[in-house]
Amino acid sequence: MDLPLTEDIRAAVAASWGYEGEGERLHGGEESAAYRVGEVVVRIGSPRRDPREMEWCHGIAAAARAVPEVVAPLPRADGSTVELVAGHPVTVWPLVDGRWTDSADRVQFLEAAGLLARVHRALAEHRPPPRPRPSFLEIGLDGAPSAELPDPDLDRWLAAFTATARAQPLHGDYYEGNLLSRDGHVVAVIDWDEAAIGPPELELASAALEFADEFGRDLSGARAFVDAYVAAGGTAGELDDITLAQLMRHRLRREAVYFGIAVARGVRHDEDDLEYHRQRLAAFHRLRPTPGRLGAATSRP
21-32 pLDDT per residue, tens: 889 999 866 678
* Residue of 284, 257, 264, 244 lying closest to 135 (CA atoms): 257
Structural contact between residues 60 and 169, judged by C-beta atoms closer than 8 angstroms:
yes
State residue 292's pLDDT score.
Answer: 56
Alpha helices in 172-240 (DSSP H): 200-211, 220-231
State residue 72's pLDDT score.
Answer: 97
Neighbours of 60 (CB within 10 A): 23
The string over 247-260, giving b where at least 16 C-beta atoms fall within 10 Å of a residue's C-beta and e elsewhere, is: bbbbbbbbbbbebe
Per-chain mean pLDDT for the chain: 93
Structural contact between residues 161 and 243, judged by C-beta atoms closer than 8 angstroms:
yes
In this model, does residue 297 exceed pLDDT 50? no
CATH 3.30.200.20 segments of the chain? 18-95
Write down the architecture of domain 100-293 according to CATH: Alpha-Beta Complex (3.90)
Q: Computed from CA positions of residues 209, 215, 216, 218, in that sequence, does the dihedral angle turn out positive or negative?
A: negative
In this model, does residue 13 exceed pLDDT 70? yes
Domain at 18-95, CATH class: alpha beta
How many angstroms separate the Cα of 166 from the Cα of each of 125, 161, 185, 287? Answer: 11, 10, 31, 24
31-67 pLDDT per residue, tens: 789 999 999 999 999 999 999 999 999 999 999 999 9
Amino acid (one-letter) located at 89: P
State residue 293's pLDDT score.
Answer: 54
- Give me the mean pLDDT over the 83-92 stretch: 97
CATH 3.90.1200.10 segments of the chain? 100-293
d(CA 196, CA 167) in angstroms, rounded, equals 10
What whole-number percentage of the chain has pLDDT above 70?
95
What is the model's pTM?
0.93
Classify burial at 133, counting beta carbons within 10 Å of its beta carbon; exposed 0-12, middle 13-18, buried 19 or more.
Answer: exposed
Give 78's contacts (C-beta < 8 A, 6+ positions apart).
none
Structural contact between residues 145 and 152, judged by C-beta atoms closer than 8 angstroms:
yes
d(CA 112, CA 110) in angstroms, rounded, equals 5
In this model, does residue 140 exceed pLDDT 60? yes
State residue 301's pLDDT score.
Answer: 38
d(CA 174, CA 179) in angstroms, rounded, equals 8
Binning pLDDT at 50, 70 and 90, where does residue 261 land?
Answer: confident
Amino acid (one-letter) located at 12: A
Classify burial at 154, counting beta carbons within 10 Å of its beta carbon; exposed 0-12, middle 13-18, buried 19 or more.
Answer: buried
225-249 pLDDT per residue, tens: 999 999 999 999 989 999 999 999 9
State residue 298's pLDDT score.
Answer: 44
